[in-house]
Structure 1
Amino acid sequence: MSGGANPARGEASVRIAGETLVLRPSFAALVAAEQELGPLFALVERAADGRLGLGEMAGLFWHCLRERPAGLTREAFGEGLAAGGLAAATPALRVLLGQILAGR
């Protein structure tokens, strides 16, 4: 994967199976996430209330991947996210939720 996360673009990174993946909350990515997960403001509210599910976080991250490594499946991505722990994924989630609220 080329290049790291660019904070000026609202990007964040997450490590999955030893590889750093960049998440970019582009308009197209957020529309795809919203189609799967429902309204993004409701997702932000659930996260603020501590009710965001792992599957929802994995779905948001999956749609926001800037590039998907060859052979990475959604199932493997979710497993890697869970294996890395919620604490490790929280900073990236915080960035994405902030971008949803603030826009860029």
Structure 2
Amino acid sequence: MSGANSARGEAALELGGETLRLRPSFAALVAAEDELGPLFDLVDRAAEGKLSLSDIAALFWHCLVDPPRGLTREALGEAIVDAGLAKLSPVLRGILKQILGGR
């Protein structure tokens, strides 16, 4: 069981032997926007295939719910690279849908 609650807009992502829970809450999206710029621009970059690994890592970092003890942003980035884009795409797509459409 992932512990992710889809009714709250959460997604589960298996990375590095851990199941991470991501939720694009208002606070998480404000923090992501502060770092990455306007969310509509982020969605546009994704649609154009111009989303960088650092964009994905930042978005996921800000959306993490109860991260495992000791998880650093650098370790999250490495786990994202190890997992590959095919594994990340469904979760990323879900978060982008939440940005556009809400819960």
TM-score (norm 1): 0.95
Cα deviation 1:38-75 (Å, max 9, x = unaligned): 00000000001111001100100000001111110000
Between the aligned residues of both structures, percent identity stands at: 64
Which residue does the alignment assign to 1:66? 65
Structure 1 alignment gaps of length 5 or more:
none
Q: What is the total number of aligned residue pairs between the two structures?
A: 103
- 1:48-87 to 2 correspondences below 5 Å: 48-87=47-86
Flag as ranges the 4+ runs of structure 1 deviating above 3 A: none
TM-score by length of 2: 0.95
Where structure 2 has 5 or more consecutive residues not aligned to the other structure, the ranges are: none
**CA shift at 1:101, angstroms?**
0.2
Distance 2:101 2:84 in 1: 26
- Two-structure CA RMSD over aligned residues (Å): 1.2
